[in-house]
Amino acid sequence: MKKKSAMYLAFLVSGCLLFSACGDSRPGKENKGADGAENPSPIAEAPDSSMYLKIADEEADTFDPQCTSTYYTVPLNIFDRLVEVESDPENHSSQIVPSLADSWEISDDGLVYTFELHPGVTYSNGSPLTSEDVEYTFTRLLTYPEAVNQDFAIGILGAHDLHNGDTDTLEGFKVIDDEHFSITLEQPYAAFLAGLSTPGASILDKETTTEAGELFGTDPSCTIGTGPFILDEVVPNSHILLSANRNCWSGPPLSAGIRINLVEDGETLRLMFSEGQLDILDLETLGNEAEFFVHGDTYQEQLVQGMRVGINYVALNQSIAPLDNVKVRKAMQMGLNRRTILQAACSGRGEIENGIFPHGLIGFNPDLDEIPYDPEEARRLLAEAGYPDGFSLDFSMSESISSETKDLVGIIADMWSRIGINVHVYELDEDSFMTMRKGGSIACYVSSWSADFNDPDNFIYTFFGSRENSRNRSLCLEDDELIDRVYNARAIVSEEERIAEYQELEKILIQDMACWVPLFSQQHIFALNSRVEGFQVSWNGWSSNSYRNVSIKQS
C-alpha cells in the first residue's frame, strides 16, 4: 500500500532537507575508514550535474529498506546487502555472489550460517562496518513497528520471541568478532541465503540509524549506507538526487550521480525522454504509448529488454460460493483465452504461465501441462457443479490500478460472460481494497507478483504457506495437509528433492485444485538515451535497478 503525503510533509515541517537533524558523520567520531585513514567528505566537490544519470520514479513513502515493499530504487543504490544476485543475461540465469559478506559456510544440517565480512568496508560517513551492525539490522527488522520485510528473517532462532517482545536479543545471532558472525535457524530453510539478497535485507549503520530515529529513511543526512551512491537531496513533487560515493568500499560507481525525476504521467515521461530530460525510460510506465517505441523505427536500436520474473494471475477465493467448488474454479480457468489476453495486455510480449513459478525462476517447470482454453468444457463443468445457467460474480479492483489493468479486467469479464458468468466489477479505494483482501473477503481480483529473490519459496510460501498467508491474499486455502507440505518443503536440504516437491505441489494447487487462474509473465522493456552505457535489466525484471555500472558518455 502506498502513502505519498506524510513523509514529504515531515520533510518540509522539520527542515530535514537542511541537513540539520543529523551530522554527516557520527557525533564524537573522526571521519576515518576501517584502516584509520582519513576519508575525504563524500560531497566535498560539486559533481558535474550533466554527468548525472537521469531517470524517473514515483514519490516514495520512505527510503528505509525495511519499511517499504514497493520503492526500491533508492535503497538498491545507497545500501548493500550481505550477498547480491548477479545476472547472466545470455543464459537467462542468475546466481548469488558475495557482497558485504566475503564468504560463508553452511553446516551440514542446514541450520548454522557462518559469515565473514569483507575487510575495511565503511559507510558513506566513514564509519566502519562491523558484525554488530549486521546484528542490529536483523534486530531492528524484527522489532521496528513499521518494518514490512520480515519474512526471510522470521526463521532465525528466537526471531518469534524477539518479534513478540518476549526478549530483547536475537538468540540465533552470534557476534564472533568485528568481521565474523553466525546465524542459527530454527529449522533448515533452503532459501535463507537468497533472502539475504533482497532490498529489505540491506545492512544499516547501527549508531547513525539509532540516533536518527524516525528521521532515518526521510532525512538524507541520516540515511546512511555502504552503497555506491549517497542520498543527497529530496525535493517533493520534483526530484531526488543521489551523488556518487567516491569512497565506496567496492569502488565508485561509473556515473557522477543519479537524478530521479518524480514523474508518473506517461505522456509527460515520453516527452521528457524525447527532449533528453531522461536517460532511461521504463516503457511499462507509458501504457499504450509504449507501442510507439516498440514498433516504430526511431528507437529500435535503443531498446533493452529482460523477462520480468513474475506472474499475473486471477485470485479465486475458495471460502466464497460458488468458488468453493473446484469444478467452478476449473471452468473459470478454461473459460479464459489467455493467449488473447497476453496479446491484448502487452502485444504478446511475454509467456503464458500455467502454475505458480514463472519463467526465469528456479523451479520453473517447462513440462507443466498448458491449461486449455475450452469454453464448451467450461460450460459443462458449470452444469455439473449445479450452475447450468451460470452465476453472478463480484470482481473487485483498486482504483489505484493502471488503466491497462482495468482494461484487462474488462477482457476477463467479457470472456467469462460467454460461459455464463455474469461479472459485476467493483472499484474500491486502495485502503478498502487492501483491508478486504487481507481479511479474505474479496471473491475475485487480478494481480501480479514479481520475484524478490530467485527461489520458488518466494512464490509458493507467500501465497500458500499458511492459512494466514492464503487469507491475506483472499485465496483462503483451508487444506491443512497441503499447507503443511508447502511449509515443510522449505526445510528440505536436498535442492533436487525440494524442487521436485514444489513442482508436485504446484500441479496440485493450480492444475488439480485450480486455486487461481495463472495468466502470463511479460517482457520488461526500457528505452535508453544514446549517451547511456552499461545498463541491463535486473535479473528479476523489476523497474527498480542498481545503477552502479551504468555510465554516461562524454558529449
Q: Give the residues across from 343 on adjacent strands.
A: none
Each residue of 50-67: b (16+ CB within 10 Å) or e? Answer: ebbbbbbbbbbbbbbbbb
Residue 35 — pLDDT band, cuts 50, 70, 90? Answer: very low
For 455-474, what is the mean pLDDT? 95
How many CB atoms within 10 Å of residue 127? 24
The pLDDT value recorded for residue 185 is 97
Residue 480 — pLDDT band, cuts 50, 70, 90? Answer: very high
- Counting residues of the chain whose pLDDT is more than 70, the rounded percentage is 90
pLDDT digits (tens, 9 = 90+) for 499-539: 999 999 999 999 999 999 999 999 999 999 999 999 999 99
The pLDDT value recorded for residue 20 is 35
Q: Report the CATH architecture of 6-46+76-223.
A: Alpha-Beta Complex (3.90)
3-class SS at 261? strand
pLDDT surpassing 50 at residue 5: no
3-class SS at 517? strand
Answer whether 151's CB lies under 8 Å from 142's CB: no
pLDDT digits (tens, 9 = 90+) for 315-366: 999 999 999 999 999 999 999 999 999 999 888 999 999 999 999 999 999 9
Distances (CA, A) of 13 to 60, 75, 202, 244: 17, 24, 28, 28
Residue-wise DSSP of 461-504: HHHHSSHHHHHHTT-----HHHHHHHHHHTT---HHHHHHHHHH
pLDDT surpassing 70 at residue 182: yes
pLDDT surpassing 80 at residue 10: no
pLDDT digits (tens, 9 = 90+) for 216-225: 999 999 999 9
Question: What's the one-letter identity of residue 368?
Answer: L
Q: In this structure, which topology does domain 310-522 adopt according to CATH?
A: Dipeptide-binding Protein; domain 3 (3.10.105)
The pLDDT value recorded for residue 37 is 42
Instruction: State the chain's mean pLDDT as an integer.
Output: 90
The pLDDT value recorded for residue 92 is 58
pLDDT surpassing 90 at residue 292: no
Residue 403 — pLDDT band, cuts 50, 70, 90? Answer: confident
What ranges do the domains of the chain cover?
A: 6-46+76-223, 310-522
Least confident of 29-38, 307-316, 401-410: 29-38
Max intra-chain CA distance, the chain: 79
For the range 220-224, what are the long-range contacts, defined as Cβ-Cβ under 8 Å and sequence gap of 24 or more? 220/16, 220/17, 220/19, 221/16, 221/19, 221/21, 221/22, 221/23, 221/24, 222/16, 222/21, 222/22, 223/63, 223/64, 223/78, 224/123, 224/124, 224/125, 224/127
The pLDDT value recorded for residue 297 is 82
Closest residue by Cα to residue 541 from 455, 450, 462, 457: 450
- Counting residues of the chain whose pLDDT is more than 90, the rounded percentage is 81
Residue for grid cell 529482460: 306
The pLDDT value recorded for residue 25 is 32
The pLDDT value recorded for residue 289 is 79
Least confident of 35-39, 190-194, 278-282, 403-407: 35-39
pTM: 0.85
Question: What's the one-letter identity of residue 290?
Answer: A
Residue 94 — pLDDT band, cuts 50, 70, 90? Answer: confident
DSSP summary character for residue 90: G
